[in-house]
Structure 1
Amino acid sequence: MEELLENSLLKHYYIISFLLNKDWMTIDRLAQEIKIPARTIRQDIGNINQYIAPAKIESSQRFGIRLTYDASHNPLYIYAAIYRQSTRFLILEELFLHRFSSMTQLAEELFISESTLKRHVLAINQVLEHEGFRIDTQTLDIVGDEKKIHFFYYCYFLERYWFIDAFLSQDELQLIDEIIADFSTHFPVLKSPRYQSFSFLNKLRTTVFICLTRNSRGHTFKDASLVKENDTFSPELRQKITRIYRINCSSFVFSHLFYLFFNSRNALTYQDLLVKARHNPVIHSIYQALSHFLDVTAASRKLKLANRDLVLLRLYNAIEYTWGPTKILYNPDEAFFMNMNKFEQTFIKQTKETLIAILRAEKIWKQIDEALITRLLFILVTSWDNLTIQLEEKAPKVRTGLFFNTSFEHSQFLLQELSYHMRSSLKPELMHVNTLAKLKAAAPHFDMIITNLPLLNLPNCYIVSIQPHPTPEDFDNILSVYNKIISAKTVKTSAS
């Protein structure tokens, strides 16, 4: 939903997104790729650098430009910086967090003119109405499909702030934690390590906060399942909720705050999913599609899926609780797949094609959302027991020879060093040759030769020259060559 950005920031977004995780690139090539004039890019670099610091777009007459940041930052920081520049996202945030009596009051809060505010609201609504909600200019409230509103702000707050501690008062944070702790007494499963992780609790805190805020404005999920009055919060906790959020904390509010659990289609366990699938045709269709997808994926590579039930359950719940676009500006799941080696990337590409084909065939998802597919693949890869190990075992072998012009002891040291750091990628071995002629004769039996000699010329073999003690750049070079070899072998295997 990057189209919510102002035009100038949208250009910045395209520039940053394309440069992310790439090396030096000429401005002319970038201009061709993102369809923005090179002159505009040159002008925008200075503006971008002002607000993403200490990250920076570096410029070089020789190499071009590249995006860099230090070890304490990552892309989340850079995209949060874009959010901070956007008046439109600030409007959406202010309308969610606060009440305004008039457009004039909101414009004054934002330090913009009322006419400028109206233009922004019109542009925002042109985007949001396609998603099922909008800004009501009379009530100055967000109205429409409550699930879509909730999911939008859920994605927004996690992308913009990473955790809600960044903008909530200590009283609100403490109250939300008390609400979650009280609720956990009704669901012992929430005491398990998976549900006690920071990530899960941060997301649960965020969704409870959104529900509390929306409920205080009179908005609720219409199909939340009611619970018994005596199964809700303690009287003391109800009083705190009423005092801070001005909510009459009924059993309906309780079920609304924890709609994720009281939704009739939620499945807490695999057995629960089986029961629901037997009684609900829609759930049955999703279950059948995911079962087929997992079976096809495992069989196509002859992989073992020991925890199939858990993986299927997690994929189902991800689909069930996706109520809109799963990315506004940045989805960390996308970055997860960027640094995989080529063999794993081939697996992901084929698996993605299978998933999309099955979802379309079963009509599970009318409009395939690229971010949702990425999310499902992320869940698949991270939940599948020993998947990476199985893929590595089936990866084409890269025979790697070591030939060093140094002492025997130093050669042994380098063998141990490279074997340790590259153990999951290749198995290096010392080449027992003592002349260059014998080296050339042995080279065709290897895919890669690592040496400390510069400009070593050997036929039909990749050469990587390293320092006397391997540097991070040396390991990057080795991995880059390894990926080229794996890619070529994978393509050759697929063709045959």
Structure 2
Amino acid sequence: MLLPSRTQKFVDLINETHIQAVSIDYLLKKYKISFPTLERFVNELDKIIYPSYFILTTKELSLCLSRHHSSDSCIAKILQNSFEYNLLIKIFFNETYTISSLSEALFVSESTVKRTMKDINLNLTPLNFKISTKPLRVNGDETKLRHFFIIIIKEMYGLENLPFKKEDLDFIKDFYKQFHSIFGLPYSQQDLLNYQLFSLVALQRELNGHTISTPSKIVEERKALIDSISLDYPNVESNHYKGVPLCKIFYFLLSDGFYTPIKALNSTDSFTNQIHNFIEEIEYIFLYSYSEENKNIITKKIHEIVFGYLSMPDHYHTANNYYEKFFYHNDFFIEKMNSIFKLIFEKNFPNASQNSMYMLFFTMIVETDQLLSSFMKNIEPTKILIYFNFDPTFNLYIKNKLELTLSGKNEISILTGEHSFENIDVFFRNYDIIITNHFFDDFPSFENIITVSHFLSKTDNEKIKQMNDKITKEKFNRMSDEMYERANELIKPL
């Protein structure tokens, strides 16, 4: 993080409270501040994130998000208010500044600019980045620097409000449409927004004189495809836009070292062997089998995240920590999902950062084909028995109603024929839930009975849903325990 301690606390307070209220004692001890100081922080922060606001009592602090706000948008407001982030963005868009002209643009003294750049450089040192002053620019590994600016811009503005010129955004959109049309690729708004961010960060860095070399025969093949797209657009001439070659702007479409192609991943390479072993163990533990196409996509992603340009050391923390939040706070079908993944990740990639683990966990959860459906196939359905003794058609009505309203995987039966509730305990063992209007003389030992009248009230429906969810969760937890056991077996020393 590039923020001074005060602004850092603002971001931390959003991250601490956006899920649930936090105790005042905890905050005062963590930040080593007094209650009046916390109160001043909260009042100042309220002005920045308005119309969202904090509720501060003597016992706890909670965040009340406006209907159109999320924690992300609150953090974006804080970052837009940050002098450090604004200084970096100024340099990103214009490397012709001098210290004097930059101080004028930011309405501060030259000494403030120099002091702030010194502080930022201390934070950038672990990443091997540096703001130099003669000339004024940000230097470092160009591939990782572009990723760095992509993160900063996304956190400050979101993908819908990128701080680039409309003509540049429109140009990328036009290229995107043509490129996807030529290759028969589906149009995606989410894809386009990321496309614009990646491309325009590349364009700006190229305009500033920072380039990425793209050698190799594979690159030339893809370059020829990009150059073949005919664009009747202002500022486009001879496969260049604003003087920058199209293949430089859309470098992320090239199969160079930035996005390592599958066919360039040597099967004898130690990195690739680690990846293949990791995927095999994931398949074994989670009872999942990747298609060849999906496995290729995941292999490439793992390579980029663990060994490539997307890897970020643990001492670099983004303001939002999107992937870390997903790892710890996303609601999964299976308990211990993240713990199981962590065991196998650390076994196969012992030198990788936790940041890489968080990002890879997100990627593998959302980009694995039908992963959640696969989990559902591996659990037994919840067996529900319906028995209303006054009308057979009412049984059918309730069965149809439950089929439409219950979540999860259910097998709903109606008591028919010569079956009865005689020998109740033995009979009930075959079902997870029983819904009936039967009169019981003694309460049966079977707990999951819902006894109703000649109708299902809202309360009855809620009881059924809660019991069904509880039983489904228990089935997932049993599967989770089995997965955890398999993972622990794999990490045991030979």
Same fold by TM (over 0.5)?
yes
Among 284, 298, 322, the alignment partner of 1:311 is 298
Taking a change above 3 Å as real, the CA distance of residues 493 and 292 of structure 1, as seen in their structure-2 partners, is closer
Deviation at 1:246, TM superposition (A): 8.8
Distance of 1:65 and 1:348 partners within structure 2: 28
Distance of 2:178 and 2:484 partners within structure 1: 55
Among 271, 277, 289, the alignment partner of 2:265 is 277
Superposed counterparts of 1:73-472, under 5 Å = 73-163=69-159, 165-180=161-176, 188-189=182-183, 191-193=184-186, 196-225=187-216, 227=220, 232=227, 240-241=235-236, 247-249=242-244, 253-265=245-257, 273=262, 275-278=263-266, 284-306=269-291, 307-319=294-306, 320-322=308-310, 324=312, 328-337=318-327, 338-341=329-332, 344-360=334-350, 366=351, 368-394=352-378, 420-424=404-408, 429-432=433-436, 438-439=442-443, 441-443=445-447, 446=448, 468=459
Distance of 1:31 and 1:470 partners within structure 2: 45
Please tell me whether Structure 1 or Structure 2 has the larger radius of gyration of its CA atoms: 2
Deviation at 1:91, TM superposition (A): 0.4
Distance of 1:65 and 1:29 partners within structure 2: 10
Distance of 2:346 and 2:196 partners within structure 1: 32
SS in 2 for 1:108: helix
State whether residues 104 and 114 of structure 1, in contact with CA within 8 Å, keep that contact through their aligned partners in structure 2: yes
Deviation at 1:117, TM superposition (A): 1.8
Counterpart in the other structure of 1:460: none
Deviation at 1:436, TM superposition (A): 8.2
Counterpart in the other structure of 2:44: 47
SS in 2 for 1:45: helix
> How many corresponding residue pairs?
449
| Residue type of the alignment partner of 2:100 | T
| TM superposition score normalised by structure 2 | 0.75
Distance of 2:405 and 2:34 partners within structure 1: 41
Deviation at 1:134, TM superposition (A): 1.4
| Residue type of the alignment partner of 2:7 | L
Q: Deviations over 1:269-299 (max 9, x none)?
A: xxx62x3233x86xx3333222211211111
Deviation at 1:221, TM superposition (A): 1.1
Relative to its length, the structure with more helix (as a share) is 1
Taking a change above 3 Å as real, the CA distance of residues 179 and 302 of structure 1, as seen in their structure-2 partners, is closer
Distance of 1:168 and 1:493 partners within structure 2: 47
Distance of 1:137 and 1:25 partners within structure 2: 43
State whether residues 57 and 67 of structure 1, in contact with CA within 8 Å, keep that contact through their aligned partners in structure 2: yes
Q: Deviations over 1:95-127 (max 9, x none)?
A: 111244321221222122222222111110111
SS in 1 for 2:334: helix
State whether residues 5 and 86 of structure 1, in contact with CA within 8 Å, keep that contact through their aligned partners in structure 2: yes
SS in 2 for 1:67: strand
SS in 1 for 2:459: coil
| Residue type of the alignment partner of 1:117 | V
State whether residues 202 and 248 of structure 2, in contact with CA within 8 Å, keep that contact through their aligned partners in structure 1: yes
State whether residues 134 and 143 of structure 1, in contact with CA within 8 Å, keep that contact through their aligned partners in structure 2: yes
Q: Is 1:14 aligned to residue 5 of structure 2?
A: no
Deviation at 1:314, TM superposition (A): 4.0
State whether residues 131 and 137 of structure 2, in contact with CA within 8 Å, keep that contact through their aligned partners in structure 1: yes
| Residue type of the alignment partner of 1:192 | L
State whether residues 382 and 471 of structure 2, in contact with CA within 8 Å, keep that contact through their aligned partners in structure 1: no
State whether residues 183 and 233 of structure 1, in contact with CA within 8 Å, keep that contact through their aligned partners in structure 2: no
Further displaced range: 330-339 or 167-176: 330-339
Q: Deviations over 1:437-484 (max 9, x none)?
A: 7346332xx4xx7799xxxxxxxxxxxxx963878x997999689768
SS in 1 for 2:54: strand
Counterpart in the other structure of 1:459: none
Distance of 2:395 and 2:47 partners within structure 1: 49
Distance of 2:10 and 2:471 partners within structure 1: 33
Deviation at 1:215, TM superposition (A): 1.2
Deviation at 1:310, TM superposition (A): 3.8
Percent of pairs with identical residues: 17
Taking a change above 3 Å as real, the CA distance of residues 223 and 372 of structure 1, as seen in their structure-2 partners, is same
Q: Deviations over 1:164-218 (max 9, x none)?
A: 6542222222233344456668xx54x412xx31222222211211121111111
Distance of 1:381 and 1:99 partners within structure 2: 40
| Residue type of the alignment partner of 1:200 | D
State whether residues 289 and 358 of structure 1, in contact with CA within 8 Å, keep that contact through their aligned partners in structure 2: yes
Distance of 2:439 and 2:34 partners within structure 1: 53
Deviation at 1:159, TM superposition (A): 2.0
| Residue type of the alignment partner of 1:9 | T
| TM superposition score normalised by structure 1 | 0.74
Deviation at 1:487, TM superposition (A): 5.2
Deviation at 1:262, TM superposition (A): 2.9
Q: Deviations over 1:128-181 (max 9, x none)?
A: 122121111222211222112111011112222222654222222223334445
Structure 2 residue ranges without an equivalent (≥5): 387-391, 412-431, 487-494
Counterpart in the other structure of 1:457: none
SS in 2 for 1:438: coil
State whether residues 216 and 246 of structure 1, in contact with CA within 8 Å, keep that contact through their aligned partners in structure 2: no
- Over the aligned positions, Cα root-mean-square deviation in angstroms equals 4.4
Structure 1 residue ranges without an equivalent (≥5): 361-365, 403-407, 453-465
| Residue type of the alignment partner of 2:248 | H
Deviation at 1:369, TM superposition (A): 2.9
